[in-house]
Each structure stands twice: as C-alpha cells, then as structure tokens.
Amino acid sequence: MPYVYIKTYGCQMNEYDSEVIAGLLCQKDFSPTSDMDRADLIIVNTCYVREKVKHKVFSFLGELKKLKEQKPHLVLGVGGCLAQKDPQEILKRAPYVDIIWGTLNLQDIPKLVDKVTEGKSPIIKVESEGKLPDDLPLVRNKKFSAYIPVIRGCNNFCTYCNVPYVRGREKSRSLKSIIREVEMAAREGFKEVVLLGQNVNSYGKDLPGHLDFADLLYEVSKVEGISRIRFTTSHPKDLSEKLMLAMANIDEVCEHLHLPLQAGSNKILKLMRRGYTREDYLKLVSQLRSLIPDISLTTDLIVGFPGEGEEDFNQTLDMVKKVKFDGTFTFEYSPIPGTIAAKFDNQIPDSVKGKRLRRLIEIQRRITEEKNEVWIGKTVEVLVEGLSRKDPRELQGRTRHNKIVVFSGKKDLIGELVNVRVNSAGCWALRGEIVSC
Ligand code: SAM
Ligand code: SF4
C-alpha cells in the first residue's frame, strides 16, 4: 500500500483542505503516514498570507529535493494558496515538483497523481473560477473538534490581504451539506464543531433565500450530540445584532469570539479598507459584553502598516488596553506582491516594525495573565485535546472560553469533557486538577 505524507502550512481552512486531500487519497488506497522517509507521495499544502510563510515553504521544498534525488519514484505535489498565486514560480524554484494544483482544484488531486505515475510530469492544474464540490471525503486529523467550512473565499479586499486573490470570491456552502457534515461529525463522536470561513458573517448572501449566519448557528445547534459550536472568522463590519443575540441564546455556542481589529487608528483602518472605526469596534465590544458578560475576546493585530506613525501605533496600544483582549495574534505588516498596500509609499522599516511588535506583545502578555488569573479557584468544563505540548506527561484541553488548561489525567480522556478546578494561571495556559469526568 502506498504512503502519503501531508505537510500543511497556514490557517484552519488549509488544515481542513489537507483532511480532504487525505480523504481523496485514501479512496485511492493511500495510507497517511507521519514518517516522511516512508512516503511514496508528499503533499505540501501551502499558505501565502505573509512573505515569511512563503520562505518557509521554499525552504521545505529545498529539503524535498534531496529526498527526491535519493528516491526518484517519490511523487511531489504542491498546492494551496502559494500555488494558486504563482505556480510558475514554484516550478522555476523547485523544478523537481511533479504536481501543482490551485485552491479550487483539490478534487483533481487523485487524477493528477495517476497521470504522474503514467509518466506525465510536471502537471499544473490551477483554475481561478469555480466552486469546490460540497461533499468531499475526508480523514480528520483531530479527534475531538471537527472543522467544517461554511463559506470559502472573500469579497473584502482589505488592502494588505492576499486571500481574495488566492481563494477567490465568497461562495457559501449549502445548508444541507453543512448539516450533513455536522451530523456525521456527531455520529463519529466529535463533541465540538468549528465553522470556518474568511468572513462567516457573509454566510448566505450568495444563496437563494434569506438564511444568514445567525440562522445557520440555530440549525447547527439542533444536531444531537454536538455540545460546543465555535466559529471563525467574524468581520467586525458585518457582526450583526442578530448574530450577537444568537451567540447569547444558543447554549452550544461557546463564550468566545475572535474579532480581528487589525489596527487601533482610524487613519490606518481606513487605509486598510476595513470598513469600521475604532469607535464602531468599541461599540461592538460593549454590546457583546452586555449580552455575554464573561465573553472571551481575541483579535488579530498588524503593526507597521504603511504610513503607521507613532501616534497611530499608540492608538493600537490604547485599544488593546481599553478592550483588554484575552489574547491577540500579532503580525508585522508584510507587503505581498499584487496586494494594494504593497504599492503604498511610506513603507515602515523592519526595525521599527520589530520594536512595535515587541512593545505590543509585552503589554498584551500582562493583560492575558491578568485575564487568566480571574479563573483561579473556578471549576471549568474542559474538552480534552491531547497530551500537553509543554509536558507530555500531562493532558491539555480547552475551556468554552478558549483557555488552554493543563492537568494530570489518563490518556483515555482525550476527546472527553471533564471538569477541572483551576489552581493557577500563566500567560499561555491555566493549570488545574480534574474534579469530575
Ligand atoms: N478573514 C480574516 C479577517 O478578516 O480578519 C483574516 C484572515 S487572514 C488569513 C489572518 C490574519 O493574517 C489577518 O487577520 C491579519 O491580521 C494577518 N495578515 C493578513 N495579511 C497580512 C499581511 N500582509 N501582513 C501581516 N499580517 C497579515
Ligand atoms: Fe483578508 Fe480582509 Fe478578507 Fe479577512 S476580510 S480574508 S483580512 S480581505
């Protein structure tokens, strides 16, 4: 039986796509392996949200060159966002790659592999129009939480972002197909689903009828056996009162929202074309907290966007202090060729971006610690995800508020919901002990 090794870069949508690739290849009798040396086929599912990720992908492809020299029958496939953006660059820099496919061509991978085994290589299959079929097979990577895409692509064209160019325009998945996948996940024993989209709040706009994302949450919550519903990403400009009410009313929806702010200065938000002001964002936070008082909020922030002066950056720090996010994902602005902001004048030097990022991380670190300490002494429901990343003698899981909790317990609790009393808190995680299973 041939083996396939899959390397995934980037977001949850890419992780899901890799689960589909594994599903498609298993139908062709491939077995997934975590041992690259054993593989007959290596799939590299790429991301291109920042230049750094692109460098990482090409450095990995460099390693694969040596492997291909030692094992000439090895088939190498590269797909995803980087491949969609510039397949020729991949071929030029890694001419030993056999297959290149785009983000809308996942379903073609098995046929492309066949062609290579028949002696045709390299093959490029990158289309910019179309929609992925709804019910593709998949082999899930995680055993406790199931990713379920509800909308693909993005229509927003934020000036820094590559996603609309590499993932195409928004295409919602049908309600029936989503519910089928949620039901299947429930039957397989998954307790949590994570509904995915670049902007889930746009769900349904391109479908007939009036179904929107809030309605979808109600539908998903009716599926027996799913105790937790999460979703990402929610765009602040489209976060409606109806959705906030649905979050508050549906027991299964977790008390956590990832709401990317990106920048705290109205000047920079406008240059980014985000479609909201800092005041709009603060209003959303206060509405959310009035409906769900203990809601945990996380965000994405970019520092060093073109034209960001010290005062603009201070406005970002000010928002971080005002909102008191539970956690932030922070990035130095990376100019991606082809995006609007990459052509802007007054790009910020890397040294300035680095200093700003360090200041931001330090301030957020203290806020996260403070927010985590609030949980000390409380008993929380934890979905056990696996062995602790920091100490594999312990278990690690997540609360409904998306806090990581580390505690002692037997491996057979993985995938189960347990109650843990929190004894201490740090910046990365809470620590505690099981009080009941
Ligand atoms: N759809 C999501 C939204 O509207 O916020 C974001 C998806 S994007 C793949 C994930 C995050 O990467 C963004 O929220 C942004 O903070 C960051 N990002 C995207 N493009 C970037 C760039 N050119 N430089 C730095 N960070 C970037
Ligand atoms: Fe990129 Fe903006 Fe679309 Fe998010 S909403 S994927 S940041 S263009």
Residue 435 CA to ligand 1 centre (angstroms): 39
pLDDT at residue 143, as a whole number: 84
Residue 324 CA to ligand 2 centre (angstroms): 23
Atom of ligand 2 nearest to the CA of 198: 6
Which tens digit of pLDDT belongs to each residue from 287-300? Answer: 999 999 999 999 99
- Share above pLDDT 90 across residues of the chain, in percent, rounded to a whole number: 95
Q: Which of 103, 169, 199 to mutate to test the pocket of ligand 2 (most atoms within 8 A of CB)?
A: 199
Atom of ligand 1 nearest to the CA of 262: 16
Residues with CB under 6 A from ligand 1: 11, 49-50, 160-161, 163, 198-199, 233, 235, 260, 262, 300, 302, 331, 333-334, 336
Q: What is the mean pLDDT of residues 373-382?
A: 98
Q: What is the mean pLDDT of residues 344-365?
A: 98
Which tens digit of pLDDT belongs to each residue from 204-246? Answer: 999 999 999 999 999 999 999 999 999 999 999 999 999 999 9
pLDDT at residue 134, as a whole number: 87
Question: Using 50, 70 and 90 to split pLDDT, how confident is the model at 437?
Answer: low
Q: Which residue, judged by its Cα, is nearest atom 5 of ligand 2?
A: 156
Q: Which of 49, 198, 238 to mutate to test the pocket of ligand 1 (most atoms within 8 A of CB)?
A: 49
Atom of ligand 1 nearest to the CA of 335: 23
Atom of ligand 1 nearest to the CA of 336: 23
Q: What is the pTM of this model?
A: 0.96
Q: Which ligand places an atom closest to the C-alpha of 236?
A: 1
Residue 158 CA to ligand 1 centre (angstroms): 9
pLDDT at residue 377, as a whole number: 98
The 3-state secondary structure of the chain, one letter per residue: CCEEEEEECCCHHHHHHHHHHHHHHHCCCCEECCCHHHCCEEEEEECCCCHHHHHHHHHHHHHHHHHHHHCCCCEEEEEEHHHHHCHHHHHHHCCCCCEEECCCCHHHHHHHHHHHHCCCCCEEECCCCCCCCCCCCCCCCCCCEEEEECEECCCCCCCCCCHHHHHCCCEECCHHHHHHHHHHHHHCCCCEEEEECCCHHHCCCCCCCCCCHHHHHHHHHCCCCCCEEEEECCCHHHCCHHHHHHHHHCCCECCEEECCCECCCHHHHHHHCCCCCHHHHHHHHHHHHHHCCCCEEEEEEEECCCCCCHHHHHHHHHHHHHHCCCEEEEEECCCCCCCCHHHCCCCCCHHHHHHHHHHHHHHHHHHHHHHHHCCCCCEEEEEEEEECCCCCCCEEEEECCCCEEEECCCHHHCCCEEEEEEEEECCCCEEEEEEEC
> Is the CB of residue 163 below 6 angstroms from any atom belonging to ligand 2?
yes
Residue 360 CA to ligand 2 centre (angstroms): 22
Residue 230 CA to ligand 1 centre (angstroms): 19
Question: Using 50, 70 and 90 to split pLDDT, how confident is the model at 260?
Answer: very high
Q: What is the mean pLDDT of residues 390-396?
A: 91
